Structure 1
Amino acid sequence: MAKMTLGRTGLTVEQNGFGALPIQRISKEEAVRLLRRAQEGGMTYFDTARAYTDSEEKLGAAFAGMRDKVVIATKTMAQTAHAFWDDLHTSLRLLGTDYVDVYQFHTPSFCPRPGDESGLYDAMLEAKRQGKVRFIGITNHRLDVAHEAIDSGLYDLLMFPFSYISSEKELAVADACLEKGMAFVAMKALCGGLITNSAAACAWVAQHQGVLPIWGIQRERELDEFLSYLPTPPRLDDKLRAVIEQDRRELEGDFCRGCGYCMPCPQGIKINSCARASVMMRRAPAINFLSEEGQAMMKKIEDCVGCGQCAAKCPYGLDTPALLQRNYQDFKEVLAGKPL
């Protein structure tokens, strides 16, 4: 098994983590079985969030009586100190524990600091003083917030998108964390399903010192793939390099990462699905955009009034209204039986 230390936290974990967002989509019984299999197979880092509906409750049920065998990270989207405490106490209750190993501010639009008007960081410090939080983290998609968090010295861990189709500026974030002794957790290492070769993704991430990827898992076959990589990690050979280069050619340029920062749309358009329909239909055909529900979702693009709210909020600077229209045109062609 490949072990790694999470920066200055000193926490030692298996070099592949479990992302528990997808388990909100399966039954509690299935989730508990999957989580226990992951732990028994060697995974030790489990990431969840208050925003992931019943994910925390499922982790609590899975790891009852074995708290010392896992590292648990969760998150709060609170905007005030009062909401922070509500979220933390709810998370502790659902997780069945009296402390969280890593408590993270979940994709804030700013970098919480001591003494700011939100009171969030001061609440986090008090929670740490009380022993309810061991280490302080932050997650984000925005480069400016990520770098501010790194430079501040206030955070033990940053979670940020990191994959082999990330830009050079995004990849540099991991190096900056390493230089500061800050733990770096890679989210979206499969780029929200756009990367379909998990061996290539795993081998590529493993080249980067100090990077812990968390893999979103909801199916047994997905877990089996990642567990198989623990004793025998995939090697970045010529075959996998060719896969990576092909993916980079196909995915270069403007594409939606599905982060959801642009939401909600005032017209009710599910932007973070609709704006990536073209590439998902090419690379993940199991996602049925042509179902009755999928067609209704895509047809909502016709309601776009071009207000630009989504583009203004996109951390990647995309012209989201134009991207929606291009995806809708592709969708209509596929609906008419034309290949993409």
Structure 2
Amino acid sequence: MLTKLGRTDLSIYPLGFGGIPIQRVSFEKAKTVILRAKELGINFIDTAQGYSDSEEKIGFAINEDKNYWVLASKSPARDGKEMEKAITNCLKNFRRDYIDLYQLHLISNLDELQLVLGKNGAMETLLKFKEKGYIRYIGITGHKPQVLKEALDIFPFDTVQGPYNPLETQSEELFKYARAKGVGTIVMKPFAGGALTSPSGCIKYILSKVFVDVVIPGMESVEQVEENFRASLDLKMTEEEKQGILRDIEELKNNFCRRCDYCQPCPQGIKISTVFILHGYLSRYGLKDWATARYQSLPVLANRCSQCGICENRCPYELPIREMLQKSHSDFQR
């Protein structure tokens, strides 16, 4: 059964297709996986400029029936010129003359949002492309629920995307607020970046929430597509799924970063939650080259930690942040 994405006229199946993992597979394999999703009735794909060749593989896969799909992408560009490059490349990669949804990616504070909305900012380009018909709707993504909630009051975004799963429920109020405003809600990180081991249980948990329009698990195999689709058909969790989720939460509660950033600022300038996000892509997604390149590009690496412990005193989850930073840096050196 299809549902509307917020107040837009986009009709989508509530289980979408996340485009991160197909970086790992060939163009032909990606096509096989995406076409299997189509056979099952999945029609929403979300990817990003930064997911290496994901946009290209999607364009290759959908080329024979490109208008069946509702396509979304996103860019961290903050100025107009960079956003223009991102959208132009996306249109080329998708092999289509319009994008259904284009999103401001990873807005982490209101200063960034004001930069985007200001003179020569990315929003000027987004609105220009929308006026010309190259973009149908504009959304926003991020990991900071309060920032995104405030953003919805500043600009009439059509959609909002954030992490939500049985372990990370901090976006619940954001999604409820968005739903009340008619803003489409898109759930990323449904398995907590691969940390939760019951995908079917997570899909059922998320889609049972009335404030969720679509969830976008990353998928790279036909088996994953079929498993997630089966979960979307019957949202009643089995006892095994419930226990699996509870077991994961118990095991992860003391060593999983929720990206709240209460630990910031670090005196050494380490972007702590960013380190842990990238480490998750390395350790759980298997995207070694992609994650390592982004880690190495950070202005300050985790080995600059002075062991002051200020971050741990601030962390509401009492995580062993210093130890986690050391491990993350060590794993990136392998």
Q: TM-score, normalized by length of structure 2? A: 0.79
Q: Which residue of 2 aligns with 1:245?
A: 246
Contact 2:145 2:162 (8 Å CA) reproduced: no
Q: Which residue of 2 aligns with 1:271?
A: 275
Contact 1:112 1:120 (8 Å CA) reproduced: no
C-alpha spacing 1:220/1:119, structure 2 compared with 1 (3 Å): same
Mapped partners of 2:278, 2:130: distance in 1? 41
Among residues 126, 132, 135, which one is paired with 2:134 in the alignment? 132
Mapped partners of 2:30, 2:260: distance in 1? 24
Q: Which residue of 2 aligns with 1:61?
A: 60
**1:99 to partner: Cα distance:** 0.6
For structure 2, the residue ranges without an aligned partner over 5 or more in a row are none
C-alpha spacing 1:229/1:79, structure 2 compared with 1 (3 Å): same
- Corresponding pairs, count: 306
Contact 1:6 1:210 (8 Å CA) reproduced: no
Contact 1:49 1:55 (8 Å CA) reproduced: yes
Percent identity over paired residues: 26
Mapped partners of 1:114, 1:304: distance in 2? 31
Among residues 323, 330, 333, which one is paired with 1:325 in the alignment? 323
Q: Which residue of 1 aligns with 2:164?
A: 162
Q: Which residue of 2 aligns with 1:80?
A: 79
**1:85 to partner: Cα distance:** 0.8
C-alpha spacing 1:118/1:157, structure 2 compared with 1 (3 Å): same
C-alpha spacing 1:161/1:302, structure 2 compared with 1 (3 Å): closer
Pair member with larger Rg: 1
Q: Which residue of 2 aligns with 1:201?
A: 202
Measured against aligned partners, the alpha-carbon deviations of 1:115-167 in whole angstroms (never above 9, x if no partner) come to 51452212211111000110000110012321122223420000100101124
Contact 2:303 2:326 (8 Å CA) reproduced: no
User: Secondary structure of the residue that 2:87 maps to in structure 1?
Assistant: helix
RMSD over aligned CA atoms reads: 3.8
User: Secondary structure of the residue that 1:192 maps to in structure 2?
Assistant: coil
User: Secondary structure of the residue that 2:162 maps to in structure 1?
Assistant: strand
Q: Does structure 1 residue 306 correspond to structure 2 residue 310? A: no
Contact 1:115 1:122 (8 Å CA) reproduced: yes
**1:52 to partner: Cα distance:** 0.9
For structure 1, the residue ranges without an aligned partner over 5 or more in a row are 333-340
Mapped partners of 1:328, 1:15: distance in 2? 39
C-alpha spacing 1:218/1:257, structure 2 compared with 1 (3 Å): farther
Please tell me the residue identity of whatever aligns with 1:227. F
Q: Which residue of 2 aligns with 1:226?
A: 228
**1:327 to partner: Cα distance:** 7.1
Please tell me the residue identity of whatever aligns with 1:272. F
Measured against aligned partners, the alpha-carbon deviations of 1:67-88 in whole angstroms (never above 9, x if no partner) come to 2211000011112101111111
Measured against aligned partners, the alpha-carbon deviations of 1:229-274 in whole angstroms (never above 9, x if no partner) come to 35x32413444333333333222245225899x9xx9899993278
Please tell me the residue identity of whatever aligns with 2:104. F
Measured against aligned partners, the alpha-carbon deviations of 1:45-77 in whole angstroms (never above 9, x if no partner) come to 000111111111111111113122110000111
